[in-house]
Structure 1
Amino acid sequence: MSTTYPFTAVVGQDDLRLALLLNAVSPAVGGVLVRGEKGTAKTTTVRAVAALLPHVTVVPGCRFSCDPAAPDPHCPDGPHDPAQDGAERATKLVELPVGASEDRLVGALDFERALAEGVKAFEPGLLAEAHRGVLYVDEVNLLNDHLVDVLLDAAATGASYVEREGVSVRHAARFLLVGTMNPEEGELRPQLLDRFGLTVEVTASRETDERVEVVRRRLAYDDDPEQFAARWAPQEQQARERIAAARELLPSVRLGDTVLRQIAATCAAFEVDGMRADIVMARTATALAAWAGRTGVTAADVRQAALLALPHRRRRNPFDAPGLDEEKLDQALEQARQEAEQAEAEGAGPDDGPEPDPDPDGGPESGGPDGGPGGDGPGGGGGVPPQRDPASDPGDGSAAPDAGPQSASPPPGEGAQPGTGPGAAPAAGAEQPPSAAGEPYRTRALTVPGLGEGAAGRRSRARTAQGRTTGAELPHGRLAALHLTATLRAAAPHQRARGRDGTGLVVRRPDLRQAAREGREGNLVLFVVDASGSMAARRRMGAVKGAVLSLLLDAYQRRDKVGLVTFRGTGAELALPPTSSVDAGAARLEKLPTGGRTPLAAGLLRAHEVLRVERLRDASRRPLLVVVTDGRATGGVEPLPRAARAARLLAASGVASVVVDCESGPVRLGLAGALARDLGAAAVTLEELRADTVSALVKDVRRAA
């Protein structure tokens, strides 16, 4: 068995380590979502914390890890004898792979025993294995939505319910849920973000000394893991004992009225939806007090709890980064404190609990370096992280809310630009500064025709492992989802030849049928945006950017990959290689300059090359090409005929396309419509993109097939 990297040897990442420790003290906090760039020790830290958790006592032979002192009355392996001695084992760390099926997660009927022995047996899943342990989901943002729903429902209720194939099972599923993700690969839906108790942002340190210490420790661990772990064993034992002590103290921690007012006022100030944020903040604040060895919650605890529990819950635009305005947070806390003092002075009654000194400089008991197991290394890298001192570093912890693409404003002196009138030639090489995007709006779905087999999403029809059952088929490889009726129908005609004697149905491997299911897939949406001088008029380009931003928002909600090709001047540029990070597309769009000639053919040919390469990388993900242009083509020899030939090349490759016609003014040349005919695509104007009638226009991309 490989030696785990010691938790207390992790350098820096104070927020991450503190959030994990608070969940270890109080699992009711609801887990941790760790957001950060690659190579920031997310996985290492999560795996390391499991080794600090106290051992658990289980009923011997119970597949669901029941506690002998309080066995689950609904345990499928029960009932358990209360007089039976328990067996002690280490806390498990169970990892949920991104490609896991729902059956693997929740469990299902054991079909082999059902068919061979005629018994109805339940095969437990990962939720049962993780009970009273840690369930770790790496790249949780890449999990199918329905799996995340099941996972987080179990985390919230503490139980897993299985109703399928005639099996009805309920078993306990209480675990420390930890998910990690790289935001560049896509976001979680807001309602799923809300189900994680805490969230932390992790980044690599920019301090030279700290980076040197990270490398030094990692090399020492790789050279001799056992010796490295032995060197950190005293710090690990200290942290383990402190977690156990905090767990024992937790029931004694009290929340006073002033603290409750501060929690409620903070959640109201940031306009979070529902009451989950208030409850999570209260649980986090009590866990912070217990971790510091106190029975009273301070204002510093409330502030730290807000920094961990609210960034992913505040209302924000889809492409804004999570974060809290710490000045606004301090104002809300202070106002709540003053209101509580005023209410008490007016005779509202004394506080129902002790109100400790809110001074954040509380010495060792505040969880600083002297209050817990330490370690060497720069910046307190070793040992257990301190609670943040709100007065010492107000900028640490979370970034201020990003203003998003709408925050850009045009520079002063804006006026009419050349080349914007109908038929006017744009000024060659006249680049204009980026213009602000218009307000995004909801668009109707753009879909790819036919039935795909791509990654699960919410855009086009596809054959998927989940979804509604549409029929039965022979299994390809391992049987995924048995279609019981079709299997019985296939086996029935052969019973006499197989010598059935009445004891059971004789089923052979060729009889097995699996369910054919239809759901939705995510697509590769490649935007080809005209950024030439003919589009440079401020009002028009703002509307164009608003339309593309709206389509990007739609792609974000439908779990698509997106790419961005722009063309202007003398050629085309792949401004954003295909990625699941839709907010990266919004950022590139915000900075998009305009001006110059209109090399339409170059833009289409670049799109053709991008799609060709992506087809080699992921043949199952079908593309949808969205061309945003007024249809003009200038520069070079025979620009319009060359653009038409490029469009027909794309059409011949079978790419489903939509042309968003950006031409405006009283006189329209209809060039975008001609381009749409060459592409075999539907054409829609900017105005129609908002209208209900766009559904019929856009969904008719079957002409591209």
Structure 2
Amino acid sequence: MPQQYPFSAIVGCEADHLDPMGLALILSTISPEIGGVLIRGEKGTAKSTAVRALAAVLPPVDVYEGDRFSIDPDDPSAVSLDLPDRDAATRTSRPVRLVELPVGATEDRVLGSLQLESALSKGEVTFEPGLLARAHRGILYVDEVNLLHDHLVDLLLDAAAMGRATIERDGISVEHAARFVLIGTMNPEEGELRPQLLDRFGLTVEVVAPREPGRRVEVVRRRLAFDADPFTFAASFAADEAALRARIGQARARLAGVKLSDNALAAIARVCAGFEVDGLRADIVTARAAVAHAAWAGRDTVTRADIRQAALLALPHRRRRNPFDAPGLDEDLLDRLLGDEEPDPDDTPPEPPTDDPAPEDRPPEDSDSADQPDTDAPQPDTDTSQPDAPPPGPQDQAEAPLDVPPPLPPELGNDQPSGEGTDKIAAAAAPYRPRLFAVRGVGAGSAGRRSRALSTQGRRIGAEPATSGAGSLHLVETLMAAARHQTPHAGGRRRVQLRAEDLRVATREGREANLILFCVDASGSMAARKRMTAVKTAILSLLLDAYRRRDRVGLVTFRRTGADVALPPTGSIDIAAARLEELPAGGRTPLAEGLELAAKVILRERVRDPRTRPLLVVVTDGRANAGADAVARAERAASGIARLGVSTVVIDSEAGPLRLGLARRLASVLGAEHVAVDAVSAQALTGAVDAWRERPTLPAAENGAA
């Protein structure tokens, strides 16, 4: 077995100099009830290295020999399917297990399933435990947890909430304990985490590479030394590993005796309420983390420092209302909510603050402080030498008309000549729930929530030979396939003879995730503030919908004389939203170049992942006017995309009483669905249908009926 990189050798994970990642991992092992750790960070920040090294510094656990469910010998209520007689079992100890859950694991591998060999050869129903059973009383590690399929996320949610795994499938009904420390690592650039699973992680940390040259040099020096001689390098940190293991054991022993006073609980509640976190899980996790931190520090009472550190780890990911909110915590606000005093160790809660200060706390009426401004605060400009009116404030500037040059002829649109004029940047309004746009046909991509696809989840529509090993066994179809080669038997009953080629698995139809590629017109004809605000709001709403449906997104923009890939296809919706926010508008409309670049991106992604089907969303008013034969070249590019068989939606941004209908014509060439920008909202569509239903019914004569 290859030598594991020592935990204490990671820069920032030394016992006396723990960074947030190392501290969060240690606290979660001292008190597993905290709920695990989510580590978010860029590539190459030792996330996986730290997690895999963690198990080696944990004290061993007591188990029974041969028990695949790892029940606690000191827990008389624990039950194992492998131990019909616990008194006859042999007690032993072993290191803590680190079980890795692959993002592509199947449901039966995670939960466990029927052991096919015993069922088919011996006719016995035998349960084969899965990864959750193996991780009991250990660590369950999910690398790239944000890429985990939704059905596996549901399994983890159930196990994390109940502490047990329940299996009801293939004629098996089994329940066993599944309490583990859940640790996930992810790169936010590859997509965000489903909110329900995000809340299940007790602590979260943001990891970045050190910027100090000295720390970076030390990281490289240690890594090179480990690669040159892993065993000698590990031996040099053996004493540090043993000391860390002993300190964790001591903290666990001290944990039950740490006192969490009512005043400390009141401080925790004040902090959680002040940051407006949802639910009460944040209060519970913060309290448990504060107790664990006090035990780690060798204290018997929770202090202000313990609460502050626990809040920094437990609250940031619970403050996010949507995926576009940046994670983090305002430490100045945290300090104000905690106050300067230590929590009183007695059980008398503090008096609630009142809005009216006590008389002795009020400033004297003749105090200079009531009349004098704060000398440290910035003073308003009192220069009155300018005779003109003061400049408009932000609100006045937002309402001021844009300085737009006179419009060009209709055939050219309202675009500014290349290199002329000033670019405009409009902000999006609050997103809304958009209509569902899906790819035509039935695909076979990764699990998601957008387009129809053959998958391992969903309604059963048939069966197929079990060539890939994936999917659940379809017993009826298997027996029907085996019936063709059964031979009659003269005397008595006999078992059905099954061959490997007889096995059939269920074919199911569910939903898949898609690549949503936005091709956005950022020319001068889009630069009007209200128009670009409507466009950005529609795209932002579709981005939020793509996040919920587990899609990947990309962004192509075109303006002036060319097109640009503003965002290569990615799973990070918040990065797409940031690129959209800073998108300027101005110049001519190179529609052909935008469509051609979008086609190149789609073809490149088909080579990378042929199973992921794209949905092209073109946002434009259709006014192609950059270069010679701009309209003809745009139509040729649109015809090329249509020949690729790409499902396309054209969102028409044209507004005003006089409309040319060029975007509708473009949609016809693309074979695309044409949608006005104000009809992207699901509420707008529902309102139109309701208005049609509620229209007054005319008499037959007025109706033209005979």
TM-score range, shorter chain: 0.7 to 0.9
Match of 1:399 in 2: none
For 1:258-297, list aligned pairs within 5 A.
Answer: 258-297=263-302
Opposite residue 607 of structure 2, the aligned amino acid is L
> How many Å separate the matches in 1 of 2:197 and 2:135?
20
Match of 1:370 in 2: none
Instruction: Give a deviation string over 1:330-376, Cα, whole Å, max 9, x none.
Output: 2222299899999857699xxxxxxxxxxxxxxxxxxxxxxxxxxxx
User: How far does residue 468 in structure 1 lie from its aligned partner after superposition?
Assistant: 2.3
Q: Among 671, 680, 684, which residue is 1:680 paired with?
A: 671
Contact 1:434 1:591 in 2 (8 A): yes
Secondary structure of the structure 1 residue equivalent to 2:654: coil
Q: Is the 8 A contact 1:422 1:665 kept in 2?
A: no
The CA deviation at 1:480 is: 3.5
Contact 1:525 1:626 in 2 (8 A): yes
Distance 1:451 1:408 in 2: 50
- 1:114-138 CA-to-partner distances (Å, cap 9, x unmatched) read 1111001000101111111111110
The code of the aligned residue for 2:452 comes to R
* Alignment-derived partner of residue 401 in structure 1: none
Partner of 2:118: 113
Report how many aligned residue pairs link the two structures: 639
Q: Per the alignment, do residues 419 and 266 of structure 1 end up closer, same or farther by CA in structure 2, a change over 3 Å counting?
A: farther
Q: Which amino acid aligns with 1:322?
A: P
Q: What is aligned with 2:415?
A: 426
1:288 & 1:206 partners in 2: Cα distance? 27
1:87-126 paired onto structure 2 within 5 Å:
87-126=92-131
Is contact 1:140-1:181 (8 Å) kept?
yes
Change (3 A) 1:344 1:306: closer
Change (3 A) 1:660 1:344: closer
Structure 1 residues 160-204: Cα deviation after superposition (integer angstroms, max 9, x where no partner): 111101101111111111100000000012221000110011000
Larger mean CA deviation between 463-472 and 80-89 belongs to 80-89
Cα deviation for residue 630 of structure 1 reads: 0.7
For residues 85 and 445 of structure 2, the distance between their equivalents in structure 1, rounded to whole angstroms, comes to: 46
Kindly provide the amino acid, as one letter, of the partner of residue 538 in structure 2.
A
Tell me the alpha carbon deviations over residues 26-67 of structure 1, each in whole angstroms, 9 at most, x when there is no partner.
111110000000100001100111001111121111111122
SS of structure 2 residue aligned to 1:437: coil
Q: State the 1:234 CA deviation.
A: 0.8
Partner of 1:460: 451
User: Cα deviation per residue 1:70-91 (whole Å; 9 max; x = unaligned)?
Assistant: 2664422133323543122111
Aligned position for 2:520: 529
- Residues 1:189 and 2:194 are matched in the alignment: yes
Taking a change above 3 Å as real, the CA distance of residues 166 and 328 of structure 1, as seen in their structure-2 partners, is: same
Code of the residue aligned with 1:170 in structure 2: it is E
- Name the aligned partner's letter for residue 231 of structure 1: S
User: 2 CA distance for matches of 1:599 and 1:437?
Assistant: 24
Deviation at 1:412, TM superposition (A): 9.5
CA contact (8 A) 1:131 1:172 kept: yes
SS in 1 for 2:434: coil
Q: Which moved more, 1:576-585 or 1:82-91?
A: 82-91
Q: How far off is 1:497 after superposition?
A: 5.2
Residues 410 and 581 (structure 1), Cα distance of their counterparts in 2 relative to 1, 3 Å cut: farther
Partner of 2:493: 502
Q: Which string of whole-angstrom CA distances, capped at 9 and with x for unpartnered residues, describes residues 636-656 of structure 1?
A: 112112211211111111000
3-state SS of 2:83 partner = coil
Q: Given the superposition, is the C-alpha separation of residues 80 and 68 from structure 1 closer, same or farther in structure 2, using an over 3 Å criterion?
A: farther
- Give 2:542's match in structure 1, choosing from 543, 547, 551: 551
| Cα distance in 2, alignment partners of residues 649 and 436 from structure 1 | 33
SS of corresponding position for 1:171: strand
- Check whether the contact 1:68–1:84 (CA below 8 A) recurs between aligned residues: no
Q: Secondary structure at 1:51's aligned position in 2?
A: helix
Q: Which amino acid aligns with 1:88?
A: S
49-58 or 485-494, which moves further after superposition? 485-494
Q: Which amino acid aligns with 1:470?
A: I
Q: How does 1:201-280 map to 2 (within 5 A)?
A: 201-280=206-285
Identity in percent: 58
| Corresponding residue of 1:629 | 620
Query: Given residue 61 of structure 2, which amino acid in structure 1 is its aligned partner?
Result: V
Provide the residue aligned with 1:700 in structure 2: none
Are residues 694 and 413 of structure 1, via their aligned partners in 2, closer, same or farther at CA, if it must alter by over 3 Å?
A: closer
Cα distance change on mapping 1:422 and 1:554 into 2, 3 Å: farther
Indicate if the aligned counterparts of 1:626 and 1:660 stay in contact, CA closer than 8 A. yes
Q: Cα offset for 1:301?
A: 0.7
Equivalent position SS for 2:292: helix
Aligned pair 1:690/2:681, yes or no? yes
* Residue 352 of structure 1: aligned partner: none
Conserved 8 A contact 1:104-1:126: yes
Structure 1: which 5+ runs fail to align?
Answer: 349-406, 698-705
What is the distance in 1 between the residues matched to 2:646 and 2:263?
62
Q: How large is the Cα RMSD of the aligned pairs? A: 2.6
SS in 1 for 2:680: helix
Structure 1 residues 604, 202: closer, same or farther in 2, change over 3 A?
same
Equivalent in the alignment of 1:582: 573
> By how many angstroms is 1:420 displaced?
5.9
In structure 2, relative to structure 1, the CA distance for the partners of 1:109 and 1:274 (3 Å cut) is same
Q: Say which SS state the counterpart of residue 531 (structure 2) adopts.
A: helix
Q: 1:2–1:696: structure 2 CA closer, same or farther, 3 Å change rule?
A: farther
Instruction: State the distance in 1 between where 2:297 and 2:322 align.
Output: 36
Aligned: 1:23 with 2:28: yes
Instruction: Summarize the Cα distance change of 1:126–1:166 in structure 2 as closer, same or farther, 3 Å threshold.
Output: same
Which residue matches 1:357?
none
Shift of the alpha carbon at 1:614? 0.8
Counterpart secondary structure, 1:312: helix
Which deviates the most, 323-332 or 282-291?
323-332
Q: Does 2:24 align with 1:37?
A: no
The letter for the 2-side match of 1:484 is L
Question: What TM-score do you get using the length of structure 1 for normalisation?
Answer: 0.87
Work out the CA distance in 2 between the residues paired with 1:171 and 1:163: 12
The match for 1:64 is 69
Gaps of at least 5 residues in structure 2 are 14-18, 354-393, 689-706
**The residue matched to 2:452 in structure 1 has which SS?**
strand
Matches within 5 A, 1:553-568: 553-568=544-559
Structure 1 contact 633–640 (Cα < 8 Å) conserved: yes
Matched, 1:664 2:655: yes
Q: What letter corresponds to residue 31 of structure 1 in structure 2?
A: G
Answer yes or no: is the 8 Å Cα contact 2:323–2:573 preserved in 1.
Answer: no
Given the superposition, is the C-alpha separation of residues 695 and 36 from structure 1 closer, same or farther in structure 2, using an over 3 Å criterion?
A: farther
SS at match of 2:317: coil
Give the drift of 1:316.
3.0
Most deviating of 432-441 and 104-113: 432-441
- 1:501 CA drift (Å): 5.8
Matching residue's letter, 1:24:
T
Q: CA deviation at 1:485?
A: 1.4
Q: Alignment partner of 1:75: what SS?
A: coil
CA distance in 1, matches of 2:243, 2:401: 64
Match of 1:541 in 2: 532
In the other structure, the counterpart of 1:371 is: none
Match of 1:8 in 2: 8
- The answer on 1:438 being equivalent to 2:438 is no
Residue identity opposite 1:592 in structure 2: L
Question: Which amino acid counterpart does residue 472 of structure 1 have in structure 2?
Answer: A
Q: Which residue does the alignment assign to 2:693? A: none
Q: Per the alignment, do residues 692 and 538 of structure 1 end up closer, same or farther by CA in structure 2, a change over 3 Å counting?
A: closer
Distance 2:160 2:332 in 1: 33
CA deviation after TM superposition for structure 1 residue 156, in Å: 3.0
SS class of match (2:525): helix
Shift of 1:262: 1.1
Partner residue in 2 for 1:326 = 331
Q: Is 2:636 aligned against 1:645? A: yes
Cα pair 1:453 1:464 within 8 Å, conserved: yes
AA partner of residue 181 (structure 2): L
Name the SS of the counterpart of 1:432 in structure 2. Answer: coil
From 477, 489, 503, the counterpart of 1:486: 477
Amino acid across the alignment from 2:415: P
Contact 1:69-1:82 at 8 Å conserved across structures: no
Larger gyration radius, structure 1 or structure 2: 2
Match of 2:402 in 1: 415
